[in-house]
Amino acid sequence: MRVLVYGGCGGLGRAVVQHFKSAGYNVTSVDIGENPEADSNVKVNLADDWVNQEKNVVQSVLDVLVGSKLEAVINVAGGWAGGNTQDPDWVKNADLMWKQSVWSSAIAATIASKCLKEGGLLVLPGAAPATSGTPGMMGYGMAKAAVHQLVKSLGGQGSGLPDGSCTLGILPVTLDTPMNRKFMPNADFSTWTPLSEVAGTLEKWSKNLERPATGSLVSMHTQSNSTYLRLEN
């Protein structure tokens, strides 16, 4: 069984790669760097424009797979930046958020169209706050809302994905990452979703277990160290 993790060098991406490896999957990581735990790596060149980035990444993935098909394409790439219209950097931040979340999701969708098995899984990175207005983090909210729309489009008829495939958007509230703990040391960690919960959910979905309907946005909530899922559409 093979999976591809887009953003495999990030905090969540490393946890997902490690989880799938331990579950016996062959894992390809796509990122600006290499993840030594992955079976293979495809590097993204940030100097490429969107069109060339897609072309180069997709061809590199095809070269790695050599005709093999994937059980799942999982995009966990992204980042966060705040700012409202009075912030001089908010448009700059919006551009960065677009590149990290929307570019990666569009490229992941192209990879899925070419490399996913029939009945396979495509997961894209949404965000629970972006289901409504995000005045304090406008660029982030814009990018995540675009990813949400892409999930719904990919879940519809005529999306170009293989027959029977399932596209889901995963919408965490706050993930329990070292970076979040560093910047929010006084937060209530019992309300943060462990990375292991996310990775375990993705593995179940890759096996077509407990999958929501294709095109769904699935938020992840944690209370008192217990995580539950909720459909947002």
Where in the sequence numbering do the catalytic residues fall? 140
Where are the alpha helices (H) located in 66-193, listed in sequence order? 90-97, 104-115, 138-154, 178-183
List C-alpha distances in Å: 34 to 25, 37, 40, 111, 152. Answer: 18, 9, 9, 19, 31
Name the DSSP class of 187: S
Half-sphere exposure of 156 (CA within 13 A, CB side): 7
Give me 190's structure tokens.
């019992």
Give CA angle at 108 (103, 109), nearest 5°. 100
Give me 71's structure tokens.
């059980």
Which residue from 63, 8, 66 is spatially nearest to 38, judged by alpha carbons?
8
Label residue 119 left, alpha or beta by phi (over 0 means left) and psi (-120 to 50 means alpha): left
